[in-house]
Amino acid sequence: MRLRDEVTKAGEELAEKIGATAIIIISPQARQIRESLKTRLPVIIARVDGVAARPGDASVDLFTRMTPDVDRESVFLKVSRIELMSEAIEAAYIQGLIQDRIVLGIVSIGDTHSVIVVDITDIPFIKKIADLTATLDYTIIKATLNLAIEIAREGREGKLIGTAFVVGDTDNVLKRSHQLILNPYEGHPKDARDIRDENNWETVKEFAQLDGMFIVDEKGYIRAAARYIDASVRGVEMLPGKGGRHLAAAAITRYTKSVAITVSGSGGMITVYQGGHEVLKLNPRISIT
């Protein structure tokens, strides 16, 4: 029996033994693995590049790009199985496919096969992301967070840079803000402004050096950069050490139904605001994939 089949069988038996509530499959060969399972537990296929779920199968889409021909030498450089599993659990939870219980993942990439068990009962990050995406599309929020992480990690020309993104309730956000300079996104086609397309991220990183904020609409398109927030900061509570960017981000979410994601220019920390309050803080050195 092939090694992958042995690991799959062991994972299926373990899932039953520990009382897992679902099995998540992450693999370029996910359909074949799914067909080999005999379990009655819910099975979710985490779809990556080139993988399609069978009609009727529960599935979630992953942002991580992974090709089916991952070779033995590069598998550890191309993808982290823990990060893939974390992303799949997050997406499945938000879609209501899993609950706050134990989930087992079968991850098969190249010549590496893993069984990963996660008890999500006490993982607050997943619940916070679910709260953020109650009114905004998950893929837009996740893409913006991942882009913010890259900006915080890389900076520009060897220097840390600070920036911010305001996502959602765009008409009201635009009414409570104005351009500091000419909008660099004015007149650009939608496909060049889609924040979910990583091909557009280098342009965003370049414009992140400008003062002001990015405005991202409800469909994931960047409407403006270098935007100054006019919302009143009166009554906005802010922790010591936070600058004007954070204050403006909290203020705009207090008066609109938007979510603001800030990148600190000093320490690189990422802070998320909603309803005028800080709701999430991320260390950019820890990947959320």
What's the pLDDT tens digit per position in 163-202? 999 999 999 999 999 999 999 999 999 999 999 999 999 9
Rg (CA), the chain: 21
Task: Name the amino acid, one letter, at 252.
Answer: I
Mean pLDDT throughout 105-124?
87
CA distance 197 to 216: 13
Task: Grade residue 56 by pLDDT with cuts at 50, 70 and 90.
Answer: low
pLDDT of residue 254: 93
Q: What sign does the dihedral 65-67-72-73 (CA atoms) show? A: negative
Q: Band of the pLDDT at 67, cuts 50, 70, 90? A: very low
Task: State the angle between helix axes of 81-94 and 124-132 in degrees (0 to 180), rounded to the nearest 10.
Answer: 50
Enter the tokens of residue 132.
């953020």
CATH superfamily, domain 129-282, is: DNA integrity scanning protein, DisA, N-terminal domain (3.40.1700.10)
Q: What's the pLDDT at 133? A: 84
Where in the chain are all domains bearing CATH 3.40.1700.10?
129-282
Give the mean pLDDT of 18-46. Answer: 90
> Residue 236, SS3?
coil
Distance CA(94)–CA(50), nearest Å, equals 23
Cβ contact 15:38 at 8 Å: no
Please tell me the pTM assigned to this model: 0.77
Average pLDDT, the chain: 85
Burial track 50-85 (b if 16+ CB lie within 10 A, e otherwise): ebebeeeeebbbbebebeeebeeeeeeeebebeebb
| The pLDDT value given to residue 174 | 97
Confidence of residue 208 (pLDDT cuts 50, 70, 90): very high
Mean pLDDT for the stretch of residues 108-123: 86
Per-residue confidence at 69, pLDDT binned at 50, 70, 90? Answer: low
Q: How many Å apart are CA 284 and CA 262, to the nearest integer?
A: 12
Q: Give the pLDDT confidence score for residue 282 in this predicted structure.
A: 85
Q: How confident is the model at residue 77 (pLDDT cuts 50, 70, 90)?
A: very low
pLDDT tens per residue, range 228-244: 999 888 877 776 667 78
Q: What is the pLDDT of residue 189?
A: 95
According to the model, what pLDDT value does residue 241 have? 63
- When pLDDT is cut at 50, 70 and 90, the band that residue 211 belongs to is very high
Q: Residue 52 pLDDT > 90, yes or no?
A: no
Domain range 3-122, CATH class:
alpha beta
pLDDT for 91? 85
Tell me the mean pLDDT in the region 220-235: 92
265 vs 48, which has greater pLDDT? 265
**% of the chain beyond a pLDDT of 70:** 88
**Which phi-psi region, left, alpha or beta, contains residue 56 (left: φ > 0; alpha: ψ -120 to 50)?**
left
Q: Which stretch of 85-99, 202-216, 231-245 has the lowest confidence by average pLDDT?
A: 231-245
Note the Cα 252 to chain centre separation in Å.
Answer: 22
